[in-house]
Amino acid sequence: MKIVVIGGSGLLGSKVVQRLKDGGHEAVPASPRSGVNSVTGEGLLEALSGADVLVDASNAPSFDDDPAMAFFTNSTMNLIVAAKASDIGHYVAMSIVGCDQLPESGYLRAKVAQEKLVEQGTIPYTIVRATQFAEFTDAITASLTVGNEVRVPDALIQPIATQDLADEVALVAEAQPINGIVNIGGPEKISFEQMAGESLARQGESKVVVVDPQATYFGTPLSSGSLVVP
Ligand X SMILES: NC(=O)c1ccc[n+]([C@@H]2O[C@H](COP(=O)([O-])OP(=O)(O)OC[C@H]3O[C@@H](n4cnc5c(N)ncnc54)[C@H](OP(=O)(O)O)[C@@H]3O)[C@@H](O)[C@H]2O)c1
**List of residues contacting ligand X (CB under 6 A):** 6-7, 9-13, 31-33, 36-39, 57-59, 61, 94, 96, 111, 130, 132-133, 136
Short-list 105, 128, 66, CA closest to 217? 105
Tell me the C-alpha distance between 126 and 94, whole Å: 9
Shortest Å, Cβ 65 to ligand X: 15
Provide the minimum distance between the beta carbon of 215 and ligand X in the complex, in angstroms, as a whole number.
Answer: 18
Smallest gap from residue 42 Cβ to ligand X (A)? 8
DSSP 68: H
| Residue, CB closest to ligand X | 10
**Measured between alpha carbons, how far is 131 from 134 in angstroms, rounded to an integer?**
9
Distance (Å, whole) CA 39 – CA 144: 32
Nearer to ligand X, 6 or 51 (CB): 6
Closer CB to ligand X, residue 166 or residue 215? 166
Angle in degrees, CA 64, 68, 70, rounded to 5: 130
Q: Which is nearer to ligand X, 113 or 210 (CB)?
A: 113
Comparison of 34 and 176: residue with beta carbon closer to ligand X = 34
* Smallest gap from residue 60 Cβ to ligand X (A): 7
How far is C-alpha 126 from the chain's CA centre?
13
Of residues 61 and 187, the one with the C-beta less far from ligand X: 61
Q: E strands along the chain, which residues?
A: 2-6, 26-30, 53-56, 90-96, 125-130, 145-146, 149-152, 156-157, 180-184, 190-191, 208-211
CB 133 → ligand X: shortest distance, Å? 4
CB 51 within 8 A of CB 4: yes
